[in-house]
Homo-oligomer: A and B are copies of this chain.
Amino acid sequence: MTTAGRTRQAARNNEVILAAAREVFLADKRAPISAVAERAGVGISALYRRYASKEDMLRTLCHDGLQRFIAEAEQAMAIPGDWAAFEQFVRGVVDADVHSLTVHLAGTFPPDEQLTADATRANILAEALFDRARQDMRPGAVPADLTMLLEMCAAARVPDPERTRELRGRYLTMLLDGLRRGGELPGPAPTVEELNWRWISTP
Separation of A187 and B188 alpha carbons in the complex (Å): 33
Q: Which of A171-191 contact B (CB under 8 A)?
A: 171, 173-179, 181-182, 185-190
Q: B residues within 8 A CB of A145?
A: 170-171
Interface residue from B159, B181, B182, B190 paired with A158 (Cβ < 8 Å):
B190
Whether the pair A174, B179 counts as a contact (CB closer than 8 A) is yes
Task: Specify how many copies of this chain sit in the oligomer.
Answer: 2
Whether the pair B155, A155 counts as a contact (CB closer than 8 A) is yes
**A-side interface mostly:** helix
Whether the pair B169, A186 counts as a contact (CB closer than 8 A) is yes
Q: Which of A152-168 contact B (CB under 8 A)?
A: 152-156, 158-159, 163, 166-167
Interface residue from B148, B155, B174, B188 paired with A182 (Cβ < 8 Å):
B174
Indicate whether A194 reaches chain B with its CB closer than 8 angstroms. yes
Indicate whether A64 reaches chain B with its CB closer than 8 angstroms. no
Q: From A154, which residue of chain B is reached at the shortest CB distance?
A: B155
Q: A152-B152, A155-B154, A158-B194 are in contact. Are A175 and B175 (CB under 8 A)?
A: yes
Whether the pair A151, B156 counts as a contact (CB closer than 8 A) is yes
Q: B residues within 8 A CB of A179?
A: 174, 178
Q: From A149, which residue of chain B is reached at the shortest CB distance?
A: B171
Whether the pair A197, B159 counts as a contact (CB closer than 8 A) is yes
Separation of A166 and B188 alpha carbons in the complex (Å): 8
Please list 8 pairs of residues, one from A and one from B, whose beta carbons are closer than 8 Å in the complex, sorted by A's number.
A152-B171, A158-B194, A169-B187, A170-B185, A170-B189, A174-B179, A174-B185, A175-B178
Please give the residue numbers on chain A whose beta carbons come within 8 Å of chain B beta carbons, in ascending order: 145, 148-149, 151-156, 158-159, 163, 166-167, 169-171, 173-179, 181-182, 185-190, 194, 197
